[in-house]
Amino acid sequence: MIDISVNKAQPVKYSFNKVVPAVVLFIILAAPVFIDPGSLDFQVCYFKSLTGYSCPTCGLSRSFHAVTHFQLKDAFTFHIMGPVLYISFLFFFFKFAYESFSGNKLILWFKMVNRRVLIYSFFGIWMGFWLIRFLKEYSV
């Protein structure tokens, strides 16, 4: 069960602490609209350049680019957690922006068990995807 509420009794003390993450998330979310990571001529991943294998985050930039252009099949192909992470970043961008402009705290309530299951599932799927991709690259 998820409950979203606005807590006006506890105003945000320092709205500047909410503006900075909102700006950073905006840049992360907006950059793939204008920059195609597949067209860049250099390799940014130091792990891949050193080992020859993909790191757990390889493909996220291309996945974010595909999400911003509504190519969901490609987004899941590049990185299975890319669209999920993009939507999470989008939610937190709106949360921080709302809190910085209104001064009210936006609270998202999860039951404690659901939150743990959600976090463990998220990282379990992420590491499982990386392990499968690593094994495919290793066997080739």
What are the tens digits of pLDDT across the range 25-64? Answer: 999 999 999 988 877 776 677 888 888 888 898 889 899 9
Specify whether the CB–CB gap between 64 and 32 falls below 8 A.
yes
Contact 69, 50 (CB under 8 A): no
- pLDDT confidence of residue 110: 62
pLDDT on residue 2:
55
pLDDT level of residue 6 (50, 70, 90 thresholds): low
Structure-token pair, residue 19: 């503006």
Provide DSSP, 27-96.
HHHHHHHH--GGG-SS---HHHHHHSS--TTTTHHHHHHHHHTT-HHHHHHH-TTHHHHHHHHHHHHHHH
pTM, rounded to two decimals: 0.79
Q: Where are the domains of the chain?
A: 13-39+52-139
Let me know if 32 is exposed, middle or buried by CB neighbors in 10 A (0-12, 13-18, 19+).
Answer: buried
pLDDT in tens, 72-124: 999 999 999 999 999 999 999 998 888 888 877 777 776 656 778 888 898 99
Alpha carbons 115 and 3: distance in angstroms, whole number: 12
